[in-house]
């Protein structure tokens, strides 16, 4: 959250004397503080499993982890994208995405995994026969609107169900992809 919200929930503001910048810690006197390596590397500990094979995939057990997958695959930082893309993922439970619905992102809802052609999902996502409910996107300017926005040719999603889906987008709109 520090990486995406340079103000950490508006606790560190310019009015309060702080300088903020996404990807850095807040600082004083017009300077931010570089993010320490132990915080940067904390991303590696977010999922169980190594993601290196079908027999040792990253395990997705809840909505927050699925949202984190979207954040990592869509990252502006190419090193992070490469670390978490082209990997194996296994959904281990049914997931309700309603926390990422109408009250998320100023009413726009879910951010697709692989948000566009420049940041496609290239991994293998095994749904394990589970269902994701409450997928909501309401962004008429969004292309590639779905649980997954854009999947590159060598990526795959299988054995996954969706229920209670409500998506409004511009072009390339679907439920799953």
The Cα 127–Cα 176 span in angstroms is 12
- Average pLDDT estimate for 44-48: 70
Q: What is the SS3 assignment for 91?
A: strand
pLDDT score, position 83: 83
Reference 46, options 65, 62, 71, 24; nearest CA is 65
The Cα 143–Cα 159 span in angstroms is 25
The Cα 130–Cα 69 span in angstroms is 17
Asked if residue 95 has pLDDT above 90, the reply is yes
How do residues 51-82 score in pLDDT, each as one tens digit?
899 999 999 999 999 999 999 999 888 888 88
Tokens 């999922």 belong to residue: 47
In whole angstroms, how far apart are CA 10 and each of 14, 21, 111, 119?
A: 9, 12, 22, 29
The Cα 159–Cα 47 span in angstroms is 20
In the chain, the percentage of residues whose pLDDT exceeds 90 is 40
Higher pLDDT, 146 or 24: 146
pLDDT-derived band of residue 5, with 50, 70 and 90 as boundaries?
low
Asked if residue 121 has pLDDT above 60, the reply is yes
The neighbouring-strand residues paired with 166 are: 136
Higher pLDDT, 86 or 12: 86
pLDDT score, position 78: 84
- Mean pLDDT for the chain overall: 84
Rounded to two decimals, the pTM is 0.72
Asked if residue 126 has pLDDT above 60, the reply is yes
């Amino acid at each position: 959250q520090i990486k995406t919200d340079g103000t950490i929930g508006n606790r560190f503001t310019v009015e309060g004397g702080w300088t903020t910048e996404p990807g850095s810690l807040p600082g004083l006197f017009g300077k931010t503080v570089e993010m320490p390596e132990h915080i940067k590397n904390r991303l590696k500990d977010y999922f169980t499993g190594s993601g290196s094979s079908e027999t040792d995939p990253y395990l997705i057990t809840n909505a927050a982890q699925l949202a984190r997958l979207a954040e990592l695959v869509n990252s502006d930082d190419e090193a992070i994208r490469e670390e978490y893309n082209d990997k194996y993922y296994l959904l281990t439970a049914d997931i309700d995405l309603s926390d990422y619905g109408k009250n998320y992102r100023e009413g726009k809802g879910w951010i697709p995994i692989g948000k566009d052609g420049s940041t496609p999902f290239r991994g293998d996502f095994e749904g394990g026969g589970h269902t994701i409910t409450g997928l909501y996107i309401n962004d008429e300017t969004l292309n590639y609107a779905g649980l997954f926005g854009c999947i590159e040719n060598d990526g795959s999603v299988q054995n996954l169900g969706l229920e209670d889906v409500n998506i409004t987008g511009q072009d390339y709109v679907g439920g799953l992809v």
